Structure formats: C-alpha cells, structure tokens
Structure 1
Amino acid sequence: MPRSPDYLGATGIGVSDLAASAVFYEKALGMKPVQTFKLPYMDEIVMSHEARNAVVLMHWTDGSERDYRDLPIKLVFYVTDPVASAAAIRAAGGSIHVEPAPHASLGGAIVGLGKDLDGYVIELLQAPAPKA
C-alpha cells in the first residue's frame, strides 16, 4: 500500500498569554482558531489559514519556569499585501522592525519584518502571483 508523503503539520511556539496571542494572530494575520487542547501540562490553540498551515500557540501550565520572550524564532507568512499586513501587526499590538520594501535578491518581492506580542519574528513576504 503506498504511503502518503510526509509533511510538516504545524509549528508550535510558547506564548506568555494564550488568549492575547490568539487574538493577535487572528487580527494581524487573519488566522482562525481551529482547535484547542487542554493537556495536563499545557494549553494550546491551533491557529490556521483555511487548514493549509498552522501555528500552535502553547502555554505551559505545569508550574515550570518558561521564558517566552524574544526567542530566536521566525515565522514566514506569504501575504498579498505586506504593507497592509505590517499595519495590521501594529494595530494588533505587535511591532515592525523592517518596513516592507522590494528586495532585488528575491526578484523584487516585497519583504518586511515584525514581531508578535512575545517578540517572535514575523516575516511578511509578498505572495507570488497566482499561476494562470
């Protein structure tokens, strides 16, 4: 029997405030909560764009000491309008560190860098035009 190809289902990131982070990813990047989990040691909210990709927001509840701030993690989002997405990140409480601008090394695609509420880097990369 042939096997399905392997693939990455989601990326999980630890967050200091689960509810606030879910609101941020919904307002800033248009993701929707699709599942929640209450495990003995952590709570999770799975955020997704039409079930194509997912970010799992995780908050440990086991009493262990966790550092959620400014970890060296980057989430790359392909967006149709990086300038509008940067504005949405700011409006949702995040910050922009590199304003969206064309980059010659990426064929002129517009790229910008921001941060979410816990300081995770969010790269805004202009989505390629749909194939005709």
Structure 2
Amino acid sequence: MILAACSSKEPRDINSATDVCEVCNMSVSSEEHAAQIVMDNGDYTVFDDLGCLMEFMMDADASEIGGAFVKDASENKWLNIEKATYVYSEGNWTPMNYGVLAFDSKKSAENWIEKEGMGKLLSYDDLQGFEWGVHH
C-alpha cells in the first residue's frame, strides 16, 4: 500500500455542510480530524477519521490513488499520510473513536504525548498493521 510520495495531487478544503465519510457515511463535521484521498483521475474521497481512510485503502487499488492526506492534530494543515507521525491512545477523541492523531513531526508528537501524559508513537508503516476496528 505504497502511495506516490512525489504526487502533484493536493488536498481540497472540507465542506462540513456537504462532505460525508466514504466508509461510515457520517458527515465530516470535525474538520480537524478529517482525511482524504485524491485519486489519479482528480476525484476526491473524504473521511471523518484517519481510521476510515485506512480501512478504505485496504481494499482500494493503490495504482488509482494520487495522494492521501490527514489533518495535523496541532495545526490546521494537511499532511501527507506517509510523512506524518502518529500518536495512538484510547484517550484520544476522534469521530469514530480510532484514537489516532497525526502530527507533522516526531518532535510535535512527542510534545503532545508529554503535554497530555498519554499516547504511543506510530509511523505510517505501523498503521499498516494497526488493528483498525473501532477502539474503546
């Protein structure tokens, strides 16, 4: 499930009034947890939670994906999912309760863990083997 890291595809803004998650069909109302895939043909597929995006990618044809992005948990910016650093904790609130947050750097993720007093660092590779069922 390797994506084109040098892809020229860019994420689009989320429209919380009309965007619906491709996997769970919930509205994408918590934009700070949004994720999206840009297909090679220019179509966009949006998700309300990183876990929904990862579940979608398990069955997707990787050759059709131009890029995949997730919102940074500490800043309002899009991150390439392959380059982000992740923090998992049962205590992390996300729309579908997967508990995985994205950060632009390992240092940002470590700072968040220190501030919150909880969490486990994960890389994009770690997400491949992560158990993506709804977490409690």
TM, length-normalised to structure 2: 0.25
TM, length-normalised to structure 1: 0.26
Larger Rg: 1 or 2?
1
Greater strand share, 1 or 2? 1
Greater helix share, 1 or 2? 2
